[in-house]
Structure 1
Amino acid sequence: MTTPRATYRLQFHAGFGFKDATVVAPYLARLGVSHVYASPYLKARPGSTHGYDITDHLALNPELGTEDDFASMVAAFKANGLGQILDFVPNHMGVGGADNPLWLDVLEWGPQSDYAGWFDIDWDPDRRYLKDKLLVPFLGDQYGSELKGGKLQVKFDEQDGSLAVWAYDSHKLPICPLQYDVVLGHDDPELDRLSDFFSDLPQWRPQMAERAATLKSELARAAGSHPSVREALDASIAALNSDWRALDALIQQQSWRIAYFGVAGDDINYRRFFNINDLAGIRMELPAVFRHAHGRIIPMIEDGTIDGLRIDHIDGLLDPKAYIEDLRRATDRPFYLVIEKILAAHEALREDWKVEGTTGYDFTNLVLGVLVNPAAEEAFTATYHDFTGLRTPFSSIVYDCKIRIMDNEMASELNSLGRDAGRVARQNPMTSDFTKTVLQRAIKQIVACFPVYRTYIEFESDSDSADKRDLDWAITQARRRDPALDPSVFKFLHDLLSGRLTAKPKSGFNRTSVLRLAMKLQQYSGPVMAKGLEDTAFYRYNRFIALNEVGGEPERFGLSAGAFHKANTQRARHWPHAMLGTSTHDTKRGEDTRARLAVLADIPEEWARQVQTWSRLLRARRGDVEGNAPPDRNDEYLLYQLLVGSWPVEMLASTDAEGLKTYGERIKATLEKSMREGKLHSNWSSPDAAYEDAMQSFARDALDPNRDSFLASFLPFVQKVARLGAENSLAQAVLKLTVPGMPDLYQGSEMWDLSLVDPDNRRPVDYDVRRQALGAMEPGLRESPAETLAGLRDNWQDGRVKLAVTTMLLRLRAEHPALFGDGGYEPLTIVGERSEQAIGFLRTHEEAKLLVLVSRYPGLRDGGIGWEGTAASLPDGDWVDLFSRRRYQGGNVALEEVFALLPVAVLVRS
């Protein structure tokens, strides 16, 4: 297996395709990565900016280039010594529109479609009007209004002879050929003949679809060859489109039910990716689905086009472990495999999963945590409480948000689980009185109290000890939350979810239905956690937004050096090749935004004073001295953190109107998303324009160059925080590139990454700037690194110092692959008054040794405060610093000397 030394994530979309990646390849090779880590590039919905809405697993996305363009890109990667890791999506496909042939076939034929079982569709839901129908919730307004308003129209496809209802000219809803006679009519002899043939289709079972395709071809030929036929067809379609009642009658006969998007929360009958209507879950546990979905990527692994996979949203699958095993069996060629799995602080990745590790969200929060000063928690919390008046514990916020998601956006899925639980309960007289309503109520409490995204009971095995621990916790908390429910209901669900319900023979329950329900509930708890925690609670609890990161726990303020070392030691032992990420396409803030914000924990009192000053300045200008007018204090507090964390380095010295305008647009988009995701004052389905306008107006006032009292107060503070934040950024980069694991660089983050939540973190990257900067610094880094780095340090604002440190460490990794890939890890002893302000460790592999030292909490040493005699205890031997070329002997070495050049040091055994 080719294990990557380091990867570089590229985001493919229409503005950055295969040709662009071909051009970038030489730069990435010079930078020092071993593999390109590509976002999904199989065919997706037109205009996709992320590629996760795949519509055809067997084709490339034409918006990215041709097959020849792709081949040229792969050749360029190989010519530059670069392998490739592909981000793959097994959980769902893009639906809606007119681009997914599998979905369109299901819409056309309903349960009779060859692909009806490929999508996770409930054809027999409680909503009886949806029996044997698929809900299609893509309308922007009520069905009747859109129908009467002419937004739904029948159209004829002259190429293949098919008929479909189109919504807004964008969503194709095929008409079942069994009802073509309604459209074709009987006025024209040829159309009359074809109408009869279409009506006769039931006699062609099980070849109905094949016969229908033949008849469609005949219809296309007739309409194309005979003007009278086409005129009659057009007239019939026009008459139908002009009579909304007749069109409604035709629609009612279809195997789909087009509806207002807001109906989905209550009535959706297909599994989605979270609550996104146009991403439909597929049943990857079915062998036919697995073979089809991997029909292109497995050959790409076998022929060496790609060396590995990153599996998106592994928790969405019915049986993640079985899927991983199927992947491994699908090819004889070993390949690198990591999974997107978000772990709770107490949760470990399953050791029997045949993967190299996770995609690194655990590391994202680990490395940030060690840079946040825990001593500031009390002061930081007091500032938040005093400024906002909010004192609700974060755990209570998460619980409330999960309940809200289940009551609204994901109510239909909960209803189905309650129904299925009732069906299982009725299999045994001892539980037959547990009604759907009671079971659904209990399930909601259990899911709301779940401490992890999901458990992993399987068809072939019951819960393991970790699952039992988390289930016990959830059931106990759920009983406390709803003591009015009979405890026996929770006992029944506990036995069901743990597999104990059918553990003994003659239990009275059908084992398959019990385990299927348990596994379905596991698929539900993950999306509820994601939507409730990441996409709601994280936008409500603004105590310290640097901690509100995917996979993070905002209530955990900072991390001790001991906890950091323990996590790295465990990774070295169990997952030495796991991916280490600090920025991704999904992170809430860029890595350097978080690193800069971490400085606030060094200076909590100064931060508190600044926030009060800024609020007085901005609210006084608006005539709101008491601070009662919108936006509320919580959103205002968020704004100040966003500004401090993402303030562009080019605007630190001075501001200009154009720069403020461009930056203001980024802040505007971020605030809009924050308000709507938080779902307190606004939301996506029914935005509160008045409140949003008040928030946006407040932000515009802050960035108004003509009313600069705020900026005059803000700039000196952010200048200081940005300077100190750069030290944290270098520490973060060095740790990622030296601890056990395989580091990933998100596109552009080799220089400052001060991005905000998507789409801000997917802005174009200027590779010309990076290419030129790397080329200019290379001679100096070879011949006089200390002098070169000193110059880059003094001009830290341009980001070249981070680029220099990154490329030097990537090249060191290339020189010592075994040391970094399989080397051990030992904490380094640091002694002295400021010992908690630095961390260090030793990596060893056979004779190769490496020492890493980084400083932290730079705000505690600002203003000329030194290290007060603090020293690191180096092992015996001769050591050379990669950056300064300074030599050291074993024993205590003063950190004042070690960090004289940079706030980081990497010592190699000479």
Structure 2
Amino acid sequence: MSAHSDPRDGSTNGSMNRSATPTSTYRLQLGPGFGLAEAADLLEHLYRLGVGAVYLSPILTATPGSDHGYDVVDPTRVSEALGGERAHAELAARAHALGMGVVIDIVPNHMSVARPDANPWWWDVLTHGRDSVYARCFDVDFDSGPILVPVLGDDGDDGRAALAELTLADGHLVYFDKRFPLAPDTYTPGDSAADVHERQHYRLVSWRRGDSELNYRRFFDVDHLAAVRVEEPGVFDATHAEILRWAAQDGADGLRVDHVDGLSDPGGYLRRLAERFDGWIVVEKILAPGESLPDSWPVAGTTGYDALREICGVFVDPEAEPVLTALARERGVPTDTGAIDHQARSHAAAELLRAEVRRIAALLAEGEGGADGDRRGGKERGEEENSRDAENRREAVAELLTSFDVYRSYLPEAESAWARAVRTAAERRPDLEPVLKTVDRAVREDPRGELARRVQQTSGMVVAMGTENTAFYRGTRFVALNEVGGDPARFGVDPASFHEANLRREAAEPRTMTALSTHDTKRSEDVRARLAALSEIPEDFADAVRRWSARAPLPEPSLDLLGWQTLLGAWPLSEERLVEYLLKAAREARLGTSWTAQDPDFEDRIRDWPARLRADTDLYAEIRAMAESLRQPGWSNSLGQKAVQLLGPGVPDVYQGTELWDLSLVDPDNRRPVDHRARAALLARIEQGWRPPVDESGAAKLHLLRTCLNTRRELGPAGYLPLTAQGSSAAHALAFARTTRGSRQPALAVVATRLPLTLADAGGWGDTVLPLPSGPGEWTDRLTGRTIAPTRMDGLTTAHLAEVLDTYPVAVLVRE
């Protein structure tokens, strides 16, 4: 896939082999103003960086105006807005001519129905109902009545006034800027819009009814993303024909599968995909600590959130935990992560995903031989819905969905995760134990049946919406840990655990992707690196928060603590970016405002906060001084993280723009345009021999990235050997060695600095040395170009870290 592909996959230099693994990937977020042609123009620059494959966001036709591509409306065509198939083919040809691969993000779980007239499949379903040729493509409960489309405005009247806004035009029902189809023979001139509406296979209803009554499965609680039934072979074929055509015509060498947990049968889907696509496949899958992918999945691995948790965590000082925990409790911020999670997940299950819970409970009722629940109508259905038995079923399902310690179980594999969830739910709600036993028995008897599939599909949504989208904005003790795939209950990762994880990755999944920043991370790798430095001065931070909050508090404790950490981690950032981020955080937390019940006064206090800070000159100066004190140690952590990611086990991904310092926050902030021209200018200087200092330009990170990626592409590192420093500051060195192409002994060593502030307080490296693997040849640091002068100590070849790390806080040592 690259000029120097991984030899473990049987490829050779300069050849293209779709089954080969890329040496690395570089993620490009396509959208308006940056399409396939612009991506193609960047390929030579990426190759010079050492990138093995260009990794593209979704390129299928999306909702008009989409800025991300995850809202696909037509899976049969490459987006013309991005340049169409011709631009895609040209990009692939140019990439392959350079020896680079092409990896493409695909979205099998859902399609956008925000603009029905833009989605021909959904339009046909609305037109013809269950008789549509596309009816089986979407997960619609046709037995429950017309398809509910929650788009009407609602001023507390359940949308009745909004129905009066419906009009008829050009043979369609029209509601403001949205058009809806008419079924055949349902309109004659003179009919009112209201009467015609009642004759359709759908009903336009209040937007408030989506969470509780929707009768088609969604992506999370997003009403305009309708789930697709790719478990059906015919639907798979229809939705993947274009994707598989790319493979046949050298348009894609690898696929990144989005939101695999949302699929009815992830394993079955991936086996079908791998049978038809012989390239590199990774899945967007968040693994809990200690969890691994099911053995039956024929994929290279995940998109790397597990590696992100470990790599970022090893640069956090665990000694800060008691101080920051005490600060949070003092400020009124909850610190019991289990309780925070359960509360947030319970809200997701009981409120945001109420429609999905009701549908599962109705299946359970059918299995018990009871009433049909959601499939009944009229008075009989109402009596069933109001019965205590029905309520118990819904509560039991909701409690079970909140009780998983992983995102979802994969039955019949990973039965233990299912058993733990059932046991936890019964312990929390012993009054529901009989119903939970019924669920357990029914699912175990038919682990591939509809009840089992829907419970498992929905548990992942509950965890993601409850934990990532809510709890991470409530338990803000130390937000560097509150990352996608993160575990705020574990305060950092010790070096031994870090090495153990890398050994396991190299042994079990050497072709998996690793990541530090993605389009979904809550904050960029460089923001987290600064926050890791903050963990070294917890007392100073705690004292500052007490002073600052007394003078300019945000209107809710969790948001207040989040706000100060955000300022320090992302400084300097514009008032507009800060306000937009804090508003999103507050609405996600749902503690003073929310997306569906916004509190204008609460949100105005957020909007006014940056101006209040700026107006208090002494306060503002204090914030700036502390933020600037974190820059140097933050840079050290950033370079350390990047080095161990880029040369460690797995396939490292670089998110667009992060080859320089990038202080982005959660989307859409992290999807801002990247100045590739500025990066190209710095790269040209580095190629001419410039070894940049570690300063605000970020060129040192670019130099590191180019060095690591080209070294990786050239040498094809394999194996993994932890290295342990010796001396007074040994705990501050993180190092490992790897073999290289053609070598029998480790010939590549990576050294990074941990906890740089504490190291400086201790007087630096002093007598600390790093034992290096023995063997012939001299060690050279590819970052500085210097030959390392090793010494012999107790029979070992050692390097003095004060010398090795005197220019950069990291080193890339190669035995030439």
TM-score for the superposition, normalised by structure 2: 0.92
- Which segment drifts farther, 769-778 or 633-642? 633-642
Contact 1:587 1:757 in 2 (8 A): yes
Partner residue, 2:380: none
Deviation at 1:481, TM superposition (A): 1.4
Deviation at 1:863, TM superposition (A): 5.3
Aligned partner of 1:154 among 159, 164, 168: 168
Partner residue, 2:237: 291
Post-superposition CA distance 1:706-750 (Å, at most 9, x none) = 542222111221111011100000001101111110011100001
Contact 1:881 1:905 in 2 (8 A): yes
Question: What is the identity, as a one-letter code, of the residue corresponding to 1:665?
Answer: E
Larger Cα-atom Rg: 1
Quote the Cα distance in structure 2 between the aligned partners of 1:391 and 1:29. 47
Contact 2:30 2:56 in 1 (8 A): yes
Aligned partner of 1:59 among 42, 58, 77: 77
Question: What is the identity, as a one-letter code, of the residue corresponding to 1:112?
Answer: D
Contact 1:44 1:56 in 2 (8 A): yes
Aligned partner of 1:175 among 179, 182, 185: 182
Give me the CA root mean square deviation: 1.9
Quote the Cα distance in structure 2 between the aligned partners of 1:483 and 1:521. 20
Q: After superposition, where does 1:106-117 map in structure 2 within 5 Å?
A: 106-117=125-136
Quote the Cα distance in structure 1 between the aligned partners of 2:96 and 2:772. 41
Aligned partner of 1:394 among 321, 334, 337: 337
Tell me, yes or no, if structure 1 residue 380 matches structure 2 residue 335: no
Quote the Cα distance in structure 2 between the aligned partners of 1:392 and 1:616. 21
SS of the residue 2:241 aligns to? coil
Quote the Cα distance in structure 2 between the aligned partners of 1:258 and 1:642. 41
- With over 3 angstroms needed to count, the CA separation of the structure-2 counterparts of 1:389 and 1:530, relative to structure 1, is same
Post-superposition CA distance 1:618-653 (Å, at most 9, x none) = 36xxxxxxxxxx6123211111111111113xxxxx
Post-superposition CA distance 1:863-910 (Å, at most 9, x none) = 572124222121223322222323243523322222111111121122
SS of the residue 1:777 aligns to? helix
Aligned partner of 1:825 among 697, 706, 720: 720
Partner residue, 2:159: 143
Quote the Cα distance in structure 2 between the aligned partners of 1:18 and 1:140. 38
Partner residue, 2:58: 40
- Aligned identity (percent) is 38
Quote the Cα distance in structure 2 between the aligned partners of 1:38 and 1:390. 39
Contact 2:729 2:759 in 1 (8 A): no
- With over 3 angstroms needed to count, the CA separation of the structure-2 counterparts of 1:800 and 1:636, relative to structure 1, is same
Tell me, yes or no, if structure 1 residue 79 matches structure 2 residue 97: yes
Contact 2:407 2:460 in 1 (8 A): yes
Aligned partner of 1:524 among 438, 458, 464: 458
Quote the Cα distance in structure 2 between the aligned partners of 1:124 and 1:403. 28
Quote the Cα distance in structure 2 between the aligned partners of 1:634 and 1:391. 8
Tell me, yes or no, if structure 1 residue 698 matches structure 2 residue 587: no
Deviation at 1:405, TM superposition (A): 1.1
SS of the residue 1:543 aligns to? coil
- With over 3 angstroms needed to count, the CA separation of the structure-2 counterparts of 1:427 and 1:515, relative to structure 1, is farther
SS of the residue 1:825 aligns to? strand
Tell me, yes or no, if structure 1 residue 437 matches structure 2 residue 391: yes
Tell me, yes or no, if structure 1 residue 909 matches structure 2 residue 810: no
Aligned partner of 1:475 among 422, 427, 431: 422
SS of the residue 2:597 aligns to? coil
Aligned partner of 1:899 among 776, 785, 805: 805
SS of the residue 1:585 aligns to? coil
Question: What is the identity, as a one-letter code, of the residue corresponding to 1:400?
Answer: Q
Question: What is the identity, as a one-letter code, of the residue corresponding to 1:875?
Answer: P
Tell me, yes or no, if structure 1 residue 747 matches structure 2 residue 656: yes
Post-superposition CA distance 1:98-148 (Å, at most 9, x none) = 2000000000011111111110011123xxxxx2x1111122334321122
Deviation at 1:385, TM superposition (A): 1.6
Aligned partner of 1:866 among 764, 771, 778: 764
SS of the residue 2:42 aligns to? helix
Tell me, yes or no, if structure 1 residue 808 matches structure 2 residue 808: no
Partner residue, 1:687: 598
Partner residue, 1:279: 225
Question: What is the identity, as a one-letter code, of the residue corresponding to 2:768?
Answer: T
Tell me, yes or no, if structure 1 residue 453 matches structure 2 residue 407: yes
Tell me, yes or no, if structure 1 residue 779 matches structure 2 residue 696: no
Quote the Cα distance in structure 2 between the aligned partners of 1:155 and 1:85. 43
Deviation at 1:247, TM superposition (A): 2.1
SS of the residue 1:348 aligns to? coil
Partner residue, 2:207: 261
Post-superposition CA distance 1:665-715 (Å, at most 9, x none) = 00011011001011111111121111111122123312x2x5422221112
Partner residue, 1:224: none
Contact 1:55 1:99 in 2 (8 A): yes
Partner residue, 2:6: none
Quote the Cα distance in structure 2 between the aligned partners of 1:518 and 1:434. 23
SS of the residue 1:573 aligns to? helix
Deviation at 1:66, TM superposition (A): 3.8
Contact 1:456 1:519 in 2 (8 A): no
Contact 1:422 1:434 in 2 (8 A): no
Post-superposition CA distance 1:188-232 (Å, at most 9, x none) = xxxxxxxxxxxxxxxxxxxxxxxxxxxxxxxxxxxxxxxxxxxxx
- With over 3 angstroms needed to count, the CA separation of the structure-2 counterparts of 1:523 and 1:355, relative to structure 1, is same
Tell me, yes or no, if structure 1 residue 722 matches structure 2 residue 730: no
Aligned partner of 1:89 among 107, 117, 122: 107
Gaps of 5+ in 2: 1-18, 372-383, 791-795
Deviation at 1:61, TM superposition (A): 1.3
Quote the Cα distance in structure 2 between the aligned partners of 1:370 and 1:385. 25
Contact 1:592 1:753 in 2 (8 A): yes
Contact 1:617 1:709 in 2 (8 A): no
Quote the Cα distance in structure 2 between the aligned partners of 1:316 and 1:582. 23
Tell me, yes or no, if structure 1 residue 574 matches structure 2 residue 508: yes
Contact 1:274 1:527 in 2 (8 A): yes
Quote the Cα distance in structure 1 between the aligned partners of 2:175 and 2:814. 65
Partner residue, 1:230: none
Tell me, yes or no, if structure 1 residue 363 matches structure 2 residue 307: yes
Tell me, yes or no, if structure 1 residue 844 matches structure 2 residue 744: no
SS of the residue 2:552 aligns to? helix
Between Structure 1 and Structure 2, how many residues are aligned?
A: 769
Quote the Cα distance in structure 1 between the aligned partners of 2:333 and 2:223. 34
Contact 1:27 1:771 in 2 (8 A): yes
Contact 2:147 2:203 in 1 (8 A): yes
Question: What is the identity, as a one-letter code, of the residue corresponding to 1:288?
Answer: G
Contact 1:840 1:851 in 2 (8 A): yes
Contact 1:425 1:434 in 2 (8 A): no
Post-superposition CA distance 1:45-101 (Å, at most 9, x none) = 011111011111111212212443333333332333322000000000011312000
Quote the Cα distance in structure 2 between the aligned partners of 1:315 and 1:541. 25
Contact 2:89 2:251 in 1 (8 A): no
Quote the Cα distance in structure 1 between the aligned partners of 2:281 and 2:334. 43
Partner residue, 2:121: 102
Question: What is the identity, as a one-letter code, of the residue corresponding to 2:43?
Answer: A
Deviation at 1:472, TM superposition (A): 2.5
Contact 2:105 2:255 in 1 (8 A): yes
- With over 3 angstroms needed to count, the CA separation of the structure-2 counterparts of 1:484 and 1:870, relative to structure 1, is same
Quote the Cα distance in structure 1 between the aligned partners of 2:645 and 2:476. 27
Quote the Cα distance in structure 2 between the aligned partners of 1:385 and 1:724. 27
Aligned partner of 1:886 among 782, 787, 798: 787
Q: After superposition, where does 1:629-778 map in structure 2 within 5 Å?
A: 631-648=555-572, 663-702=574-613, 704=614, 706-778=615-687
